Amino acid sequence: MYIGTAETVLDAKHRITVPRRVRETMEVLGHALWYMARGFDHSIFLFPRDEWNKIRDQVKQYSSMDTRALDFRRLFFASVTEVRPDRQGRMPVPPHLRAYARLDRDAVLIGVDDHLELWSRDAWRAFQEQQEPEFKAMAAQLFAGDKQLSNSTEESGASDET
């Protein structure tokens, strides 16, 4: 399981250094090979092999003749790069993904349970600020298991105050 937030920087060779605690988790779980891909909100997804295979299996369920699925496959799979941390825990970030994520120097590596995400520090801060007002509603929806909960209090005019 990958959790937490770690600030890092891109070095002169466009590599990030994976924090020791994350490298230790990688080692324990046997995650030596990673698939780096275009993520959402200008982030970069990093999937260990087992999670990558699950993603591929999900995507394979859709026909190549489904134009929306094909468009996604083009954008997503064209962005993928296999990477392995070197002995010092550094991972190269290819130019096309650095450009997509708007990574210049300051970066943040976050754990998202089954995968990692790499963000520019500014984009991560902006994302957190943008999503903060919805955090409580997201938690309520996830923990209650009610897919319709997200707008129910707003629609009824109910308040959080008790």
Domain ranges across the chain: 5-122
Fold that domain 5-122 belongs to in CATH: Chemotaxis protein chec (3.40.1550)
Rounded Cα distance between 97 and 93, Å, is: 7
Please state the rounded mean pLDDT for residues 4-18.
96
Laid out side by side, the sheet with 116-120 consists of: 5-9, 106-111, 116-120, 44-48, 34-38, 81-83
Half-sphere exposure of 102 (CA within 13 A, CB side): 9
Band the pLDDT of 146: cuts 50, 70, 90: low
For the stretch 23-71, pLDDT in tens is: 999 999 999 999 999 999 999 999 999 999 999 999 999 998 999 999 9
Q: What is the pTM of this model?
A: 0.84
User: Tokens 């780096």 — which residue?
Assistant: 36
Q: What is the pLDDT of the chain when averaged over all its residues? A: 90
Please give the pLDDT value at position 148.
Answer: 55
Please report, to the nearest 10 degrees, the dihedral formed by the alpha carbons of residues 24, 28, 29, 31 taken in order: 50
In the predicted model, what is the mean pLDDT of residues 9-27? 96
